[in-house]
């Protein structure tokens, strides 16, 4: 905590006066009281960014799915489990925000029905011993925030296992995001290092491989420069 406070004191306040709402971690979509569908996300990238934003003077609200990480110094954390809970927490905070950053690995789908009690292995199986789960789409939090009448500056993440440029550019255009940060999942999900590429309306900017804390500080610079121009 002391080291964190010292770093915060020494960091230029590039984001002073900005309220940043962000999401991090996975969501967990229950199947029954113990089982669920989730994503492989440690939350490390989002938490590193929340810390770097706070150190740069921003008022940071971090809406977080279930992770095993401490809340960074000076960050307001709202803990949620599902995508719908994450959406509601974001919408409660977004009106006063100048920036929204969606880092969370939100589940695109959730089980259509949630069983009140733990499903037994012997219940409702097919003739071949299998079972099916019917899924329904989750809200798209980033698209919803980006389409608000007075939308904040929206930053999206694209974690892909292939065709990163195509998918990240398509995401930027489809959701009308000023900035998308893309990475190949083999490069970073759940691990300590990250190699990302930035996509904005002026082009494609690959960054070198950086540790998540160093990358987070670099992204503060990238964000602050773009906010000054916007």
| Residues recognised as catalytic | 39
- Other Cβ atoms within 10 Å of 118 Cβ, number: 12
Residue 6 CB, nearest approach to a second copy (Å): 26
Residue 193 CB, nearest approach to a second copy (Å): 17
Q: Pick the piece of the chain touching a second copy (CB under 8 A) from 15-23, 30-38, 82-90, 213-221.
A: 30-38
Decide: helix, strand or coil at residue 27: coil
By CB under 8 A, is residue 114 in contact with a second copy?
A: no
By CB under 8 A, is residue 162 in contact with a second copy?
A: yes
Count of residues of this chain found to bind a second copy when the rule CB under 8 A is applied: 42
> Which residues have a Cβ under 8 Å from the Cβ of 50 and sit 6 or more positions away?
22, 24, 60, 62, 72, 75
> Which residues have a Cβ under 8 Å from the Cβ of 214 and sit 6 or more positions away?
none
Q: Pick the piece of the chain touching a second copy (CB under 8 A) from 3-11, 51-59, 158-166, 212-220.
A: 158-166
Would you say the C-alpha torsion 91, 92, 98, 104 has a positive or negative sign? negative
State how beta strands 59-64 and 19-24 pair.
parallel
- Other Cβ atoms within 10 Å of 203 Cβ, number: 7
By CB under 8 A, is residue 185 in contact with a second copy?
A: yes
Residue 133 CB, nearest approach to a second copy (Å): 5
Phi, psi of 29, deg, nearest 5: -105, 110
By CB under 8 A, is residue 131 in contact with a second copy?
A: yes
Would you say the C-alpha torsion 150, 141, 101, 162 has a positive or negative sign? negative
> Given the complex with a second copy, which of 28 and 153 has the nearer CB atom?
28
User: Residue 64, exposed/middle/buried by CB under 10 A (0-12, 13-18, 19+)?
Assistant: buried
Of the candidate residues 105, 145, 215, 223, the single one contacting a second copy (CB under 8 A): 105
Q: Pick the piece of the chain touching a second copy (CB under 8 A) from 102-110, 149-157, 191-199, 203-211.
A: 102-110
Which residues of the chain form contacts with a second copy (CB under 8 A)?
Answer: 28, 31-41, 68, 105, 107-109, 112, 116-121, 125, 129-137, 159-162, 167, 185-186, 189
């Amino acid at each position: 905590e002391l080291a964190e406070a010292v770093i915060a004191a020494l960091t230029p306040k590039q984001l002073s006066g900005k309220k940043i709402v962000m999401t991090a971690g996975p969501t967990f979509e229950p199947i029954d009281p113990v089982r669920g569908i989730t994503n492989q996300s440690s939350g490390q990238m989002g938490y590193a960014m929340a810390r770097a934003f706070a150190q740069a003077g921003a008022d940071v609200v971090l809406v977080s799915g279930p992770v095993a990480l401490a809340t960074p110094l000076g960050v307001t954390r709202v803990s949620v489990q599902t995508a719908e809970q994450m959406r509601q927490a974001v919408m409660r905070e977004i009106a006063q925000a100048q920036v929204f950053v969606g880092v969370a690995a939100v589940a695109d789908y959730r089980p259509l029905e949630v069983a009140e009690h733990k499903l037994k292995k012997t219940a409702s199986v097919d003739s071949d011993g299998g079972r099916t789960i019917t899924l329904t789409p989750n809200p798209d939090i980033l698209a919803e925030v980006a389409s608000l009448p007075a939308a904040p500056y929206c930053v999206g993440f694209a974690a892909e296992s292939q065709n990163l440029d195509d998918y990240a550019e398509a995401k930027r255009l489809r959701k009308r995001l000023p900035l998308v940060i893309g990475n190949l999942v083999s490069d970073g999900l759940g691990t300590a290092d990250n190699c990302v590429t930035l996509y904005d309306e002026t082009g494609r900017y690959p960054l070198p491989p950086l540790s998540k804390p160093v990358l987070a500080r670099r992204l503060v610079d990238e964000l602050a420069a773009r906010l000054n121009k916007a």
